[in-house]
Chain A
C-alpha cells in the first residue's frame, strides 16, 4: 500500500468510527426504551461499538504504517486521543455484557467517546516525521500504553459515577432495593448502588495503571531531564488526579463510603483527569505557566 492509500484508509476508518459509535448508542438506547429489552438488540448495539473500535484500530495501524511515521503512532494528541477512545470503547465492550444494569450507561459513555472523537478530529495532523528530542525514548511507548489502560476505563468510571451521583440525588426508584425476596431472602441492590459498585470495580482496574502511568513518567523524566519529579503543571495535575482516586479508594474500602459521597468523589477524579489530559496546556497558556510537557499538544 502506498502512502496515499494509507492516508486515505486512516481517515476513512477514523470517519467510520463516529457513525459506528453513534449507531451503537442509538441501538443501546432503543434496547433500553423498547419493551422486552431483547438480547438481540443489545448485541446489535454492542456490535456497532465493536465496529467503531475496529475502525479506530485500523485507522491507527494505517497511520503507523505510513512511511513518514517510522515508529509506533503514540505521540501526537490525535494519536493519544484515538487510543483513549479505544480504551473507553474497549472497557464498554467488556463491561456491558457482564452488567445488565450498566447498559443504560452505554449511550452516555459513547457520547463521551464521540466527544473525544471530535476533539481528536480537531487535532488531526499528518504523522510526526521527527519527534522532539524529549520524546525519543523507549519509555514513550510504555508511558502511553499505561495512559490508555488507565484513561480508557477511568473515563467510563467517570460516566458511571456521574450517573450514580444523579441517581442518588434524584432518589426514588433509582435508590430503592430491587425485587425484595418474598421469603426474606437477599434483596438486590438498587440501580444507583449497582452503578456505584461498578464505578468502584472499573476504578480498581484503572487505578494501578494510573499509578504505573505516573511511575513510568517519573522514570522517563529522570532519564530525559535528570529528575523524576519537577512540579511541572502536567505532573502536578496527574498527581492531583491520583490523590483524588487514592482518597476515593480509601474512603470506599476502609471508611465505608458508599452512595452519593463515593460517586461524587469518583466523578471529581474524572474532572481532574480531563484537566490533566486535555486542559493543562491551555491553563499553562492562560496563566502564563511554564511546562516541559508543552509538546504534548
Chain B
C-alpha cells in the first residue's frame, strides 16, 4: 500500500480522484489495517455462533476486508510504474550537490583522467556484482550509478498482487456459482447416502475409532494407570455410481425421511441395503430402489481425505447414533433392534435412548405379569433401554473420564403399566457392550454401538489458485525483506588536470556498512595519491 500523493488541489479534484487518492494513501491503509485487527479481536472474543453472524459474515466486516483489498490494488497500480521506472531507467546523472548530501559521502582528488577513474570504479563494482550505469554530464564529468538487488523493489507490489490472488481464490472457493461447494453428510455404518452435488453414492462400510493406550508414569489416581487417547477416526467407505437394477452390485432402498438428522446439511438421501425375499427385491420401508455399482473405496482419516472424481471427502466428526440390541424371547424367537440415541444438550454431552418396548417373554410363558388390566393388553413381558453410558466401570456409569477405556453400557428396565395406565420402569441392571442379561426365560444382549460418520464433501476448483497466491506472496516477501539492495552514486569531475571523485550512498539505505562500501569504492582508485584528505565521518 503506497504513499502516492496527488498534488492537485483538493477542491479541483473529482470525487473519483479523491477516493483513489484516499485508497492509495498509506495513512488510510494503516488505519484500515488496525481497524480490521481490532474488529478481529472483537470477533475472536465472541462465541463462535454469534461471531459468525455478527462479525465474520457481516456486511461491515466484509466491507472492511474489501476496502483493504481495494487499497492494496490502488497502491500497487499507483506505485508499480514508479518501481519499474526506477529499475529499468533510473536517473544516473545528478548534480554534485546531490552526491554531497548522500550517506557516507567521501571525496578524493588525484591526477588522472575521468575515463580512468570511471573504469576503475566500474571494474570494482562489477567485481562486487553491481550493475553499473554511467552517464556523461554536461559539465564534462561522469556520473556513475552502481546497483544490485534492485528486484527488492518488486517485493511489495508482488505481495500486494498475491493478496489479490489469494482473496480471488477465496471468493472462488466459497462461490457455488463458480463451481465450489461444501456439504456435510452423515452416514450410519451400513447405510448409504447420495451426495447430491457430485451425484456420488457413498456407503459407510465401517467406522472405527482407534484408541491408543498410554501408561502414566505418575498416575493421577490409583485405579487409572493407563489412559486412552483417540489415535484415529477411520471411515471405511465405498463410492458407488447409480446403475440400472439389473446391472447393480448392490440394491438399496431409500429411507423416507421426515426430519433432518442432527448436525447435517439437509436434504440428502439416505438408503439402506434393500431386503430380499422370495419374490426378489422389493421396497420394504416405503422408499424406492436404487441400483449401485462400486467405483472406489477409501479409508478416510483426519489429514487423509479421499479424492474422488474431483471431490474431496474429509473426516469431520462422528457421533454415536444407535445401539444394536438383540432380544431372544422365551420361545426362542430372536430379533435384532437398533435403538436410536438423541443427544441431550441440556445435560451436556449425554445421550438419551429412545424407549422402545421389547417383548422378551411372551404371554403365557411366565406368571405374575398380568397384574393390571392395562398390562393384560400387553403381548407379554416387556423390557426397554432407558439409559446409555459411554463409559461404565466397576458396576457404575461414569459421567467424566474421557481418558478411560471406552466401555459403553445400557441400563435395562422392565416396563410395566399401572392401573392408571402409566408406564413404569423397574431397573434390571446395566448391560455392557458385547454382554447379555437373562430376563425371566428370555435374554437381552447389547451387541454394539452404531456410529454415524460425518464427512465434509468439498469441491474446490480454486484451491490451485490459492496455492499460487501463497507461492507469489512467498516470492514477494523474500524479495521485499531478505534481498539486500545496494545503490552507490559516484560523480567524477575533471578539474585542471586533476580528477575529483565524489562517492555516496542514497539515504534510503539504512544498513550499517555504508562506510565499508564507500571505503571499498575509494580503495578501487588505488595507486592514486589523494590530493586532499577524505572528509571524516564521525563514528
| A→B interface (CB under 8 Å) | 98-99, 126, 129-130, 132-134, 136-137, 179-183, 185-188, 197, 204-205, 207-208, 211-212, 215, 218-219, 222-229, 231, 233, 236-237, 239-240, 243-244, 246-247, 250-251, 253-255, 272, 283, 287-290
Q: Which of B43, B103, B156, B538 gathers the greatest number of chain A CB atoms within 10 Å?
A: B538
Is there a chain A Cβ closer than 8 Å to B63's Cβ?
no
- Using CB atoms, name the residue of chain B closest to A283: B45
| 10 A–B contacts, CB within 8 A, in A order | A132-B230, A133-B302, A136-B303, A185-B536, A207-B477, A212-B474, A226-B312, A226-B458, A236-B43, A255-B26
Given contacts A186-B103, A208-B482, A250-B1, A130 and B212 within 8 Å (CB-CB): yes
A99–B536 Cα distance when bound, in Å, is: 22
A137 to chain B minimum Cβ distance, whole angstroms, is 4
Of B33-41, B279-287, B377-385, the one with at least 4 CB within 8 A of chain A: B33-41
Chain B residue contacts of A179, Cβ below 8 A: 538-539
Is there a chain A Cβ closer than 8 Å to B3's Cβ?
yes
Given contacts A243-B36, A255-B27, A134 and B303 within 8 Å (CB-CB): yes
Q: Is there an interface contact between B44 and A137, defined as CB atoms closer than 8 Å?
A: no
Q: Is there an interface contact between B477 and A211, defined as CB atoms closer than 8 Å?
A: yes
Q: Is there an interface contact between A185 and B537, defined as CB atoms closer than 8 Å?
A: yes
B480 to chain A minimum Cβ distance, whole angstroms, is 8
Chain A residue contacts of B314, Cβ below 8 A: 224-226
A138–B46 Cα distance when bound, in Å, is: 32
Q: Is there an interface contact between B56 and A231, defined as CB atoms closer than 8 Å?
A: yes
Of B47-55, B124-132, B410-418, the one with at least 4 CB within 8 A of chain A: B47-55
Chain A residue contacts of B537, Cβ below 8 A: 181, 185-186
Is there a chain A Cβ closer than 8 Å to B229's Cβ?
yes
Given contacts A185-B536, A239-B40, A250-B1, A222 and B33 within 8 Å (CB-CB): no
| Choice from B26, B41, B316 contacting A251 with Cβ under 8 Å | B26
Chain B residue contacts of A188, Cβ below 8 A: 538-539
Chain A residue contacts of B231, Cβ below 8 A: 130, 133
Chain A residue contacts of B478, Cβ below 8 A: 208
A212–B43 Cα distance when bound, in Å, is: 23
A283 to chain B minimum Cβ distance, whole angstroms, is 7
Identify 12 new A-B residue pairs, CB closer than 8 A, beyond the known A133-B230, A207-B477, A243-B37: A130-B231, A132-B229, A133-B303, A134-B303, A181-B536, A181-B538, A211-B477, A218-B470, A226-B458, A228-B170, A228-B466, A231-B48
A62–B173 Cα distance when bound, in Å, is: 44
A185–B518 Cα distance when bound, in Å, is: 15
Q: Is there an interface contact between A182 and B481, defined as CB atoms closer than 8 Å?
A: no
Is there a chain A Cβ closer than 8 Å to B182's Cβ?
yes
Q: Is there an interface contact between B467 and A219, defined as CB atoms closer than 8 Å?
A: yes
A208–B158 Cα distance when bound, in Å, is: 13
Q: Is there an interface contact between A133 and B29, defined as CB atoms closer than 8 Å?
A: no
| Choice from A182, A211, A227 contacting B538 with Cβ under 8 Å | A182
Q: Is there an interface contact between B40 and A250, defined as CB atoms closer than 8 Å?
A: no
Query: In chain B between 292 and 348, which residues have their CB closer than 8 angstroms to a CB of chain A?
Result: 301-303, 305, 312, 314-316
- Using CB atoms, name the residue of chain A closest to B49: A290
- Using CB atoms, name the residue of chain B closest to A276: B44
A268 to chain B minimum Cβ distance, whole angstroms, is 9
Chain A residue contacts of B315, Cβ below 8 A: 133
A224–B233 Cα distance when bound, in Å, is: 12
Is there a chain A Cβ closer than 8 Å to B473's Cβ?
yes
| B→A interface (CB under 8 Å) | 1-3, 26-27, 29-30, 33-34, 36-37, 40-41, 43-48, 51-52, 56, 103-104, 156, 170, 173, 182, 212, 214, 217, 229-233, 301-303, 305, 312, 314-316, 456, 458, 463, 466-467, 470, 473-474, 477-478, 481-482, 510, 512, 535-539
A283–B48 Cα distance when bound, in Å, is: 13
Chain A residue contacts of B539, Cβ below 8 A: 179, 188
Chain B residue contacts of A288, Cβ below 8 A: 47
Q: Is there an interface contact between A255 and B538, defined as CB atoms closer than 8 Å?
A: no
Chain B residue contacts of A229, Cβ below 8 A: 170
B50 to chain A minimum Cβ distance, whole angstroms, is 10
Given contacts A129-B214, A254-B1, A290-B48, A247 and B34 within 8 Å (CB-CB): yes
A283–B2 Cα distance when bound, in Å, is: 36
A145 to chain B minimum Cβ distance, whole angstroms, is 15
Q: Is there an interface contact between A186 and B104, defined as CB atoms closer than 8 Å?
A: yes
B190 to chain A minimum Cβ distance, whole angstroms, is 23
Q: Is there an interface contact between A187 and B47, defined as CB atoms closer than 8 Å?
A: no
A158 to chain B minimum Cβ distance, whole angstroms, is 16
Chain B residue contacts of A208, Cβ below 8 A: 474, 477-478, 481-482
Given contacts A197-B510, A211-B473, A186 and B230 within 8 Å (CB-CB): no
Q: Is there an interface contact between B538 and A250, defined as CB atoms closer than 8 Å?
A: no
A112–B103 Cα distance when bound, in Å, is: 36
A180–B173 Cα distance when bound, in Å, is: 59
A287–B43 Cα distance when bound, in Å, is: 12
| Choice from A134, A228, A272, A290 contacting B302 with Cβ under 8 Å | A134
Chain A residue contacts of B56, Cβ below 8 A: 231
A136–B233 Cα distance when bound, in Å, is: 12
Q: Is there an interface contact between B212 and A129, defined as CB atoms closer than 8 Å?
A: yes
A251–B3 Cα distance when bound, in Å, is: 10
Chain A residue contacts of B538, Cβ below 8 A: 179-182, 185-188
Chain A residue contacts of B470, Cβ below 8 A: 215, 218-219
B324 to chain A minimum Cβ distance, whole angstroms, is 25
| Choice from B37, B46, B233 contacting A244 with Cβ under 8 Å | B37
- Using CB atoms, name the residue of chain B closest to A187: B538
Chain A residue contacts of B230, Cβ below 8 A: 132-133
